[in-house]
Amino acid sequence: KPQRAAEPSGPQKIPGVDRIIAIASGKGGVGKSTVSANLACALAAQGRRVGLLDADVYGPSQPRMLGVSGRPASPDGKTILPMRNHGVTMMSIGLMTNEDQAVVWRGPMLMGALQQMMTQVQWGALDVLIVDLPPGTGDVQMTLAQKAHVDGAVIVSTPQDVALIDARKGIDMFNQLKVPILGMIENMSTHICTNCGHEEHVFGHGGVASEAEKWGVPLLAEVPLDLQIRLASDGGAPITVSQPDSKQAAAFHAIAKQL
Ligand code: ADP
């Protein structure tokens, strides 16, 4: 009986990449991309060789958050050279389309693009590759976990019940995919009025801490809802880069030290 050539099966390592950490959320808009960008920059500032793969195929925000534009070059027509800013090597589907252009692709095309970003991009030698996932529990998460050896996932959520319900589904999915949960982050945890210093829990407070406890995973940080964090990301230099010594940046540095 003719033997089929052995095909690589199961999750593979990306050559040169030591660890892959996925940043996930159940819902959109909870700050997963903000956390990914700040975490990558914080890790770089701590001397680690960091890559950031923007796999949020429907709403890629890393080009803007990391201040990267232009098309990545492909000198040999086969491999793609990643971009680099703030000490972070990065690649995003957003660099392959115009900012105003919607990605209206069917699943298989998206998965092709994701695989291309994992296998054809010359990531070089990295201590850690951060993957900014799309929200939810869909094809991208499954494909990533099945094709690449993901070392762990970090779940970002606001303390609001509607976000926590979806975060729970995310945890369940990673458990099924046998990807360890490294911890949870409560984003938009408190808001301190820049005028009067009054502290307000816009989306509630402590919901993620109790959820993390329930699952037996660490609460990595509580990040405040803060104007400077938003302005910095919109300006293309995350707060960990633009105000590295601020208390806002300290929260992200604390997360980086735990990973
Ligand atoms: P997601 O990736 O989960 O969709 P984003 O990171 O794009 O969420 O965040 C959604 C919006 O909220 C962005 O405009 C971002 O700048 C803002 N944002 C996220 N986290 C914070 C925060 N801690 N403080 C202030 N604004 C934030």
pTM: 0.93
Structure tokens at 238: 């995350």
User: Hey, what's the torsion of the CAs at 208, 215, 146, 27, to 10 degrees?
Assistant: -20
- Interface confidence (ipTM) of the complex: 0.99
Domains along the sequence of the chain with CATH: 17-258 (3.40.50.300)
Tell me how far the alpha carbon of residue 188 lies from the centroid of ligand 1, in angstroms: 8
How far is CA 200 from each of CA 96, 108, 192, 230, 247, rounded to the nearest angstrom? 40, 44, 6, 17, 18
Tell me how far the alpha carbon of residue 35 lies from the centroid of ligand 1, in angstroms: 8
Which pLDDT score is estimated for 5?
Answer: 59
Each residue of 121-133: pLDDT tens digit? 999 999 999 999 9
Cα–Cα distance between 184 and 211 in angstroms, integer? 9
Residues having CB within 6 Å of any atom of ligand 1: 25, 28-34, 61, 187-188, 223, 225-226, 229-230, 233
| Atom of ligand 1 at shortest range from CA of 233 | 16
Query: Is pLDDT of 137 > 80?
Result: yes
Yes or no: say if 188 and 158 are a contact pair by the CB < 8 Å rule: yes
Cα–Cα distance between 139 and 159 in angstroms, integer? 26
